[in-house]
Amino acid sequence: MTRYIVRRLALAALILWVVSVAVFLLLRVAGGDPVIIQQGFNATPERIAAVHKELHLDEPYYQQYARWMKDMLTFDLGRSSFTGVAITEEFRARLPVSFQLMVMTMAWTILLGIPFGVISAVRRNSAPDYGVRVFAVFGLSVPAFWVATLVLMIPAEQWGYAPPLNKTTSIFSEPWENIRQLGPPSLVLALAPMASVMRLTRSQMLEVLRADYVRTARAKGLNERVVVIRHALRNSLVPVITVLGLQFSGLLGGSVIIESIFNLRGLGQYIFAAILQKDFAVAQTLVMFTAGTAVLSILAIDIIYVFLDPRIRYT
C-alpha cells in the first residue's frame, strides 16, 4: 500500500505540472490585455508599459512561468493584479464558504441519493421506483443555472421571500441565516450529483440482489433489512464511492456559476471574476488548487476501496 501511494503521489505531481503549463498558456493565448482591463482604455502607453513591467508581463513566457512556479513552491501567492489584495487573504476569507457549500452539497447527495436509490431497487417497478427514476432523469437533464434562477425568482415573485444575498454569514455566529443563505444553492448544486448517485445505486443494487450469496442469505432466514443493508448495499458501494469522489473533486468548478447567481463570496465566484478580468495570478493559483483537490480526492477514494472491499489489494 505504501509503495502504491508513493507512486500515485509521483503521478499526481506530474499531472499537476501538466495542468500548470496548460493553465499558464491558455490564459495568455485567450486574448485580451489584463493591464488595459485594469487601467482602462484611456490609460497612456507609458502607463501601460510601466504596469506591464511591474507585473513582469513584459518578460518571455518561460521566465513568467518559472517565476510563478517559484512563488507557488514557496507558498508566496502574491497579490491580485486587479484589486491589489493578497491572494492568501482572499483565499482564507472565501474558502470556508466554498467548503461549506461543497460539504452541504455532498451531504444532500449522500443522504438522499443513496437511500432513494436503494428504495428504488428494492421496490422495483413500483410507484416509488418510478418516482425516483423520473426525478433522476429530471436532475440530469435540467441545467443547474436555470434551476438556481427559478429558486430565486419564484419565491420572490410569489411569496416575497429571497435568501440573504448581500452578505456572507458564519454558521457558528448566525446558524439560521447561514442555512438560509447556503441551503438553496447547495440543493441546486446537489441536483445532478444526487440524480447520478440514485441511478447508479439502483443499478448496482439490482445487480447485487440477484447474486447467489444474497439468495443464500435469504434462504438462511436472515431479516430482509439485514440482507439489503449488510450484504447488498455494502457490496454495491464501491462504484458509488468512485462517483462521489469524482463529484466532490468537481464541485468547486461547478460552483462557479451557482456562487455567482447567489452572490456567495466563495472561491468559485473568485475564479469567475479573475478569469473575466484576466487576473493571471488569481486564476492560475485557484485552478491549481482545484486540480490538486481533484487529484488528492481520487487518491483518497482508491484508499477507501480497501476498507469497503477486503478483496481489493494494491501492490
Residues 228-242 pLDDT 10s: 887 788 778 878 888
pLDDT for 309 equals 62
One domain, residues 118 and 239: yes
> Which residue, 20, 51, 73, sits at the end of a domain?
73
Place of cell 461549506: 100
One domain, residues 119 and 242: yes
Q: Is residue 314 part of a domain?
A: no
Q: Are 186 and 104 in contact (CB under 8 A)?
A: yes
Cα 262 from Cα 109, distance rounded (Å): 20
| Cα-based distances in Å from 270 to 28, 41, 112, 187, 284 | 19, 24, 30, 21, 12
Lookup: cell for 132? 425516483
Cα 101 from Cα 18, distance rounded (Å): 28
One domain, residues 211 and 279: yes
pLDDT for 7 equals 83
> Which residue, 23, 39, 73, sits at the end of a domain?
73
List the CATH number of the domain containing 249.
1.10.3720.10
> Which residue, 73, 108, 134, sits at the end of a domain?
73
**Sequence-ordered alpha helix ranges (H) in 174-277:** 175-209, 212-219, 224-226, 234-261, 267-276
| Cα-based distances in Å from 293 to 13, 45, 74, 150 | 12, 41, 19, 31
107 sits in the region (left: phi over 0; alpha: psi -120 to 50; else beta) called alpha
One domain, residues 34 and 108: no
Residues of the chain whose pLDDT is less than 70?
1, 31-32, 165-167, 305-315
Lookup: cell for 288? 491549481
Domain tally for the chain? 2
Cα 246 from Cα 298, distance rounded (Å): 7
| 63 CB-near residues (< 8 Å, 6+ apart) | 56
Lookup: cell for 135? 426525478
One domain, residues 144 and 209: yes
Q: Which domain holds residue 300?
A: 87-308
pLDDT for 107 equals 93
Cα 257 from Cα 253, distance rounded (Å): 9
Q: Which of 17, 37, 39, 198 is nearest to 119 (CA)?
A: 198
Please report the sign of the dihedral spanned by the C-alpha atoms of residue 137, residue 139, residue 143, residue 147.
positive
